[in-house]
A and B are shown apart, each in its own frame.
Chain A
Amino acid sequence: MIAPSDRRLRLLGLAAVILAVILGIAGVPVTSAQGSVLFVTSATGRLPADDPWSPEWDRVPGVDVPLSGQIVVPPMLRDPSIVSIRARAMSDDDRIAVLLEWKDQTKDDSVLRADAFADAVAMQLALGEGTSICMGQQAGGLNIWHWKADWAADAEGWRDVQDVNPNMPLDASLPHVVEPGTSPPLGPGGFFTGRDAGNLRSAVERPSAVEDLNAIGFGSLSAQPVEGQDVSGVSVHRDGTWRVVMSRKLSTGDPNDARLGRGRAITIAFAAWDGARGDRDGQKSVSSWLTLSFGPAPGLGFVEWWWLAMIALALVLAAAVLVVGTRQPAVGLGWPAGRPDGGIPEGGSGPGGQDRGPRQANLR
């Protein structure tokens, strides 16, 4: 025979399972991440988005993010070329600047040779809940800020294949120098199709050294239109260390851009490529998810009150259970009043017997 308490316990367990099924299928989260958090520091003056080595960055605490090789989908990288990235973030309520710093003894900023690959770093920002860390998924895409060293070098001065092969033969009908802004954009014979198609990789002039992209899974990486390229990038390689600052306005109005600002916390991850080691495409060093937190919105205080209220309520309830519980004997269990040894008054039976004191029991 199943005791009543045992039956209630089983019903409780069944209710828990049913609740879990409902919440799980509905996609209602009941757990939060307790992992690494990158807190955005408020800028006290001008945002040093154009100077990665500004002393202002030295006062900003950051997080060291360990990286591992990308081994989920080919082309893979088994051992990470870069073992960790130090990330710092600062905002002046109009723009956010993220400084990424990592060790790399060589400055690889040219892809003009067939076997040359450039250093790069990327930050992916989740656009939805439950986004896959592996380049996103259909239910939750990614906004990716991808800085490339060769794009940064091109911004300082356009280089082409003839710069690394000065004695290469050239077809006289193809101008090897096309000044930016000249027309026709296709060039003689229509050879600059990439440029005319708006391919940023083919462009002579680019808005930034950082490419603004989106992805919803493997093989879906897509650059945003030229007019949507709104992430700036400044980089300096010094003493075997890269420092890259990527910055953007907090609010862009573009649904393909991650929404940033006070009161928000967004899931991010990093990836880095070391050109000297042949890193390119999926051969990259990647991090796990962490949270980019802006802290509470100014003047509202709701976040703090929410935290405090929840914790206070829980502690009061828990303390009440702990304190009030000690003032009562176990209901239905334990010993009746006046009989701490667990003995039962003669003739007493059922719960009513518990309420009878010794005198009442003796009168029987």
Chain B
Amino acid sequence: MSATTATIARWLLLAVGLDLLVTRVASRLAIFVPKEGGVAVVAGIVGRLGAVVDTLVPIIAALLLAALLFEAGRGPASWRGRVGLLSVTAIAVMGIAGLVAAPTPEATLAGQVLVLVAALLLVLPDTGADSDRLADAGRLLLVFALASGALARAGAPAAALLARPFPVDPSLGLVAAGELAFFAGAAAVGFAGISGATRRARAAGLAIAAILVAPALVAPGMTGILLTWALGLTGLLPLPLYAIVAGLAVAGLAGLSSDRSARAIGLAIVLMAGNAPAASGLLLASLLGLVVARMSARTTAIADVVPSRSGIPVVAPPAIP
């Protein structure tokens, strides 16, 4: 992955993280707070800030997509990588088109099929994949979660096109399966990187788990609704388990980032975007996170592309899986 792409991927990670904290948690937490005097002003500021961050995510995602397209065109990229990027491009455009056009069954179904295509291409093994099977398993589980959400959403438009309901509606089952896969994927990522995490990273993970367990025990209703709004998780499992896995994932990602920054960045983007994201910007970010997570583990540092003594910069051609 080139330095430019790596930098933009880090921007996307930061944007999605801010979106999770500000747009999806803080501004929605404000719903539970009585709006009086100064509190109303603060809530308004948080809400406006959330709107800005929510807008930043798809913009940065579009930049990353453009960078990946240029990189794929410049270097040796497999046909899977190219087709996958084309699918993601179409999904990005459909997300924009959805702003001005009412969704039709055809377009809605096509969008979910594209997500499935992209997910399938991302599932196929990367020729340059590392040997960390647990991390790879985590990545595959997250791909499955995304695909499961797309399948669940494909049911309604498919039935509308067939002009008949299905004998059994599998959507709720698919949503449940996707959530379990997302949970397991986060746990796998955490276990994969925990051994390489520093003591400070482990302490941070523990602190995050403790901070999240408390509201889960004291105010499970509010925590559950925030879990749904923020990460698209319905709370199938006991809420404290989500808190524990969140802390584990934070520590694990820190451990993975020490030598495999592309994978850590990509997986972090996917986890923070949430399970089967409904917003087109977060869906795009999630797909791009999976693309980045599959890329060559070695990130070309910015120092590697400074001009040589001859004045002509030299860099090894990047590899798109």
Q: Which residues of A contact B (CB under 8 A)?
A: 3, 5-6, 9, 12-13, 16-17, 19-21, 23-25, 27-39, 41, 58-64, 66, 68-69, 71-72, 76, 78, 84, 132, 134, 263-265, 288, 291, 293-296, 303-304, 306-307, 310-311, 313-315, 318-319, 321-326, 328, 330, 332-336, 342, 344, 348-351, 353-354
Contacts and interface: CB of A to CB of B under 8 A. Distances in A.
Contact of A5 (B160, B172, B305): B305
A71 B302 CA distance: 49
Nearest to A291: B103
Contacts of A25: 48, 51-52
Name the residue among B11, B31, B221 with the largest chain A CB count within 10 angstroms: B221
Nearest to A297: B102
Contacts of B73: 321-326
B102 A84 contact: no
Q: Looking at chain B's contact residues, is the secondary structure mostly helix, strand, loop, or mixed?
A: helix
Contact of B104 (A9, A16, A304): A304
A16 B59 contact: yes
Contacts of A293: 102-104
B288 to A, nearest CB: 14
Interface stretch (B124-132, B181-189, B204-212, B308-316): B308-316
Contacts of B153: 34-37
B31 A72 contact: yes
A-B interface, 7 closest residue pairs, ranked by CB to CB distance from nearest: A325-B73, A61-B159, A32-B98, A24-B52, A265-B102, A71-B221, A20-B56
6 contacts: A61-B160, A296-B102, A322-B77, A344-B310, A349-B310, A353-B312
Q: Looking at chain A's contact residues, is the secondary structure mostly helix, strand, loop, or mixed?
A: mixed
B156 interface: yes
A324 B73 CA distance: 7
A332 B313 contact: yes
Chain B contact-residue range equals 35 or more
Nearest to B105: A39
A30 B99 contact: yes
A275 B157 CA distance: 34
B196 interface: no
B116 interface: no
A315 B153 CA distance: 24
Interface string B4-33: 100110010000000000000000000110
B175 to A, nearest CB: 8
Contacts of A21: 52
B305 A334 contact: no
B95 interface: yes
Contacts of B172: 64, 66, 84
Contacts of B237: none
Nearest to A23: B55
Contacts of A3: 302, 305-306
